[in-house]
Amino acid sequence: MAGIPAANTFPRLLRANAEHMGSLPAYREKEFGIWQTWTWSEVDDEVRFLALGLRSLGLERGDRFAIIGDNRPSLYWSFTAGQSIGAIPVPCYQDSVADEIAYVCEHAGVRVAVVEDQEQVDKLIEVRDRLPELRAIVYTDPRGLERYDEVEGLVGVEAVVETGRGLHGRDPEDYEREVARGRPTDIAAILYTSGTTGRPKGVLLTHANLIEPARRAVKFDNLTRRDEVLAYLPMAWVGDFVFSIAQCHIAGFCVNCPESPETVLTDLREIGPTYFFAPPRIFENMLTSLMVRMENAALLKRRLFAFFLDVARRVGCDILDGKRVHPLQRLLYAVGNLLIYAPLRDVLGLGRIRVAYTAGEAIGPDVFRFFRSLGINLKQLYGQTEASVYVTIQADAEARADTVGSRFPGVEVRIQDQEVQFRGDGVFQGYYRDEAATAKTMTEDGFVRTGDAGYFDEAGHLRIVDRAKDVGALTDGTLFAPKFIENKLKFHAWIREAVAFGHERDMVCCMINIDLEAVGDWAERRGIAYSGYTDLARQEEVYELVRGGIREVNADLAEDPALRGSQIRRFLILHKELDADDGELTRTRKVRRAVIGQNYGELVEALYAGRDSCRVVAEVTFEDGRRGTVEADVRIWDVDASAPMAAAA
Amino acid sequence: MKREIGGGPPVAELENIHLSFGGLQALQDVSVAVKPRERLAIIGPNGAGKSSLFNIISGIYTPSSGTIRHKGEARPARMRPYEVARLGIARTFQNIALFSGMTALDNIMTGRNSLMRRGVLGEALQLPWARRQEIEHRRRAEEIIDFLEIPSVRQTPVGALPYGMQKRVELGRALAAEPELLLLDEPMAGMNLEEKEDMCRFVLDVNEIHGTTLILVEHDMGVVMDISDRVAVFDYGRKIADAAPDDVRRDQAVIDAYLGTAHEH
């Protein structure tokens, strides 16, 4: 199956699957409370008709077209349909505001947009005058669009498919001829990276770029047609393309689309995926809400939970790694599995996991070990859009919290001036319409600069320290690695986001976002009244709680001679949650330090001026796109530096 | 999309209705009619008789005198609420009246009650027709859940839902009866702006897509003026105006009684 040489583009992979396993499930979606299934041969038909239909809208070979919406089978099919006729899909983040979508669509010069619903149609209508090349908007959900009959070029996907069906009836070889014209070196997608600085850049990836590494990853983890995945991460993100399209087409497994973004946890449980990806924050959220729920459980349950969690902590990871464990401990773990771990895995929807990955950010060691100790094979990988995901990966027995694994098969990785660089067949073709950025990222010998500072440890595992350009120094020359510090802070359940400042300053200060769920529950338990995030964030008890966490981080930093001087000396809790809509986080929820430093310049100055509070008026973007202001008094507290344990003794 | 109002006799027509509780005259000589597919709003201060009017249409109160017609035919003055339901009339309540221990889905399923054919034996033995019926009702309930965008709370007990969500479930239960005439008693009360916008959208969609005739009692003037075709104004048990929203807004009697805007003497 994996050896068919002709299947070197996505449309050909689909044709091969329809021939070899036509009756097996390819995509599922929950509709009206019931999971609906499409087999490979049904998908083949849908894609064929949609392809010819899209072409009839004026979408031609080489044209770009946008895809915007939540994970829906018909949107996934539009990728392959467009590729069949040589058009290039440009997926956009579905929660982007109209202006962000306009930037991407304008930059890519999209001819057609295939979108999910009224919400996305409205955004495109709002910015249509910036998109003169946009000829047609195809929607998949007609809900609420009955009153839009005067909008030019707006058409339902069903009508497009019908047109395609008619065209196919008149010339059944038409589609095959289109697919035959495709080359593995054709661009298969332009994926815009959110980027922590500046405007997004369009990463050009060919069919070969995406297919070859994905094929190796399928082999690496023995993925088969019997695997199941839940597609819930943004379709515009390279990982979703690789997991839900590339690997699904190569291994032939089934992709399940959630009913709605709000039902993901229920859907996860119903599907019980065997192969799963989630960024660290999702695992962190799962653990936090689990702990909150356990705090509220009956005493007996709580005791039992604590006891067996302790057993798992001691031996769970070793058992999963296949190490030798005392038979008595093994027996205890087996009892725990029966009583606690298995039901827990099931409740979390992780009961059938064979392979799970996390990537994108550092994961807290406690969080990582918690899931592994429950018997969930959670591993890390390190990747980039520019690499078609894979740079390094952890094998089953090599899972560690503080590394991102060894190099991925077929990829060369080197460290030059602290920076991680890689080369391989997944390497992108350049940034679309941005030669300057391409030249800056690619070295002369074909390596890609990741911009991440890292090193290989004795075992040959890569460790990422920080973004290379973020590593700075305090005025006294002490090394300052902001992300390293922020990650340590975020490993605390109370702290959701942290932003550290210190480059060319005399000390390290930080801004904190508390975790509303965890701290809110903690506050309720103590009878502390609060009316919302802003109110909770300014309570003295909460400051005390956060200061405790920061002290622990300082004690940690004190142990490292290189970082001892970069302990946190002052902090404040922000009056509002950092938000991607305000440009403070990227769409993948990475902190934009420069934007925050600018937006909260007053607060930064107050931190360094030694003041104990600061009045702020912050501009915020509400969910409906309106802008408004929030006003608050933000307290600033000091923290003591820790001395290293050895020195204290 | 164009919406045709009228065509055929009024869905509900009240003529010279009087209603009194002991010495208290709740409604005095009230006549009001709603045309097919029309959106009629009823406004007035507290105690003006708005809810009494609803209770008469839905069979909870029996008027002291007057005629009620349904699609042009006189209805018996005394009717049980379930008989009214079978005429294709459904309602929501000012104070939510759901089964709080039951899930959102089960609450919506109860709205199918008037459409279910009964047979204890068939249900108990899961005979084919009983199962087919169950599946059909469930399918309709799921369509409503999808329409109201509440799949995430499908299996949540209603008592655990926030207020705005409960209002939505209650609308869902009313819709489950597939009514021709829907009575909404303060559907927006106690909601924030966003919830109101959502609710307005659902109400308009019900009317425009399914052609359901609407009568709503509402205090939020913005909502009333935005979504209704016609506004009937009540004061002290009498109807004092009945016209298009813009005309009602300019009506001096209405301003005096209700809107309370300053005006020259």
User: Which residues in chain B are closer than 8 Å to A260, comparing Cβ atoms?
Assistant: 149, 151-152
In CATH terms, is domain A10-216+234-249 a member of 3.40.50.980?
yes
Q: What is the mean pLDDT of chain A?
A: 91
Residues 6+ apart with CB under 8 A from A39: A22, A23, A24, A25, A26
Q: Which residues of B touch A146 (CB under 8 A)?
A: 1, 208-209
Q: Which of A213-222, A272-281, A629-638 is predicted least confidently?
A: A629-638
Q: What does pLDDT average to over chain B?
A: 87
B130 pLDDT band (50/70/90 cuts)?
A: confident
Distance of alpha carbon A588 from alpha carbon A600, whole angstroms: 21
What number is the average pLDDT over the span B174-183? 94
- Contact list in A for residue B146 (CB cut-off 8 A) is 31-32
**Cα distance between residue A580 and residue A583, in whole Å:** 5
Tell me how many residue pairs between chain A and chain B have CB atoms under 8 A apart: 33
Please check whether the two domains, A10-216+234-249 and A280-467, share a CATH topology: yes
Predicted confidence (pLDDT) at residue A4 exceeds the cutoff of 50:
no
**pLDDT exceeds cutoff 60 at A448:** yes
pLDDT average, residue stretch A355-372? 90
Establish whether this prediction's ipTM goes over 0.95: no
**The pair of three-digit structure tokens given for residue A624, joined into one six-digit string:** 């409906």
SS3 B167: helix
Interface test with A, best of B143, B150, B152 (most A CBs within 10 A): B152
A10 pLDDT exceeds 60?
A: yes
Across the interface, whether the CB atoms of A624 and B145 are under 8 A apart is answered: no
What sign does the dihedral A118-A120-A126-A129 (CA atoms) show? Answer: negative
What does the domain layout of chain A look like in residue ranges? 10-216+234-249, 280-467, 472-648
A147 inside 8 A of chain B by CB: yes
CA distance B51 to B33: 16
Smallest Cα distance from A519 to chain B, Å: 21
Mutate to test the interface with B, among A31, A32, A623 (most CBs of B within 10 A): A32
- Asked if the C-beta of A260 comes within 8 angstroms of chain B's C-beta atoms, the answer is yes
Q: Which of A149, A259, A624 is facing B1, going by the closest CB pair?
A: A149
**What domains can be seen in chain B, in order of their start residue?**
1-88+179-265 (3.40.50.300), 95-178 (3.40.50.300)
Report whether pLDDT(A195) > 90. Answer: no
CATH of the domain spanning A472-648: 3.30.300.30
Place of tokens 């399914």: B210
pTM for this prediction:
0.82
Distance (Å) of CA A55 to CA A58, A403, B201: 5, 47, 35
Comparing C-alpha atoms, which of A89, A91, A96, A157 is closest to residue A122? A96
pLDDT of residue A3: 43
pLDDT of residue A629: 77
Which chain A residues touch B151 with a CB distance below 8 Å? 30, 33, 259-260, 262-263
**Predicted local confidence at residue A559, as pLDDT:** 80
Report the gap between the CA of A619 and the closest CA in chain B (Å).
Answer: 20
Q: Is A259 on the interface with B (CB under 8 A)?
A: yes
- A197: pLDDT strictly greater than 70: no
| Nearest CB to A146 within list B142, B149, B209 | B209
Task: Decide if pLDDT at A517 tops 50.
Answer: yes
Place of tokens 């239909």: A53
pLDDT over 70 (residue A521): yes
pLDDT at A223: 96
Residue A6: the pLDDT is: 60
pLDDT at B265 over 50: no
Find the residue in A nearest to B209 (Cα): A146
- Residues of B within 8 A of A147 (CB-CB) are 1
CATH fold of the domain at A280-467:
Rossmann fold (3.40.50)
Rounded CA-CA distance B95/B60 in Å is: 16
Query: With 60 as the cut, is the pLDDT of residue B225 above it?
Result: yes
Q: Mind telling me how many Å the CA of B240 is from chain A's nearest CA? A: 35
pLDDT above 70 (res A648): no
- Whether B80 and chain A come into contact, CB under 8 Å, resolves to no
Whether B5 and chain A come into contact, CB under 8 Å, resolves to no
- On whether any CB of chain A is under 8 Å from the CB of B135, the answer is no
Type of residue at A50: L
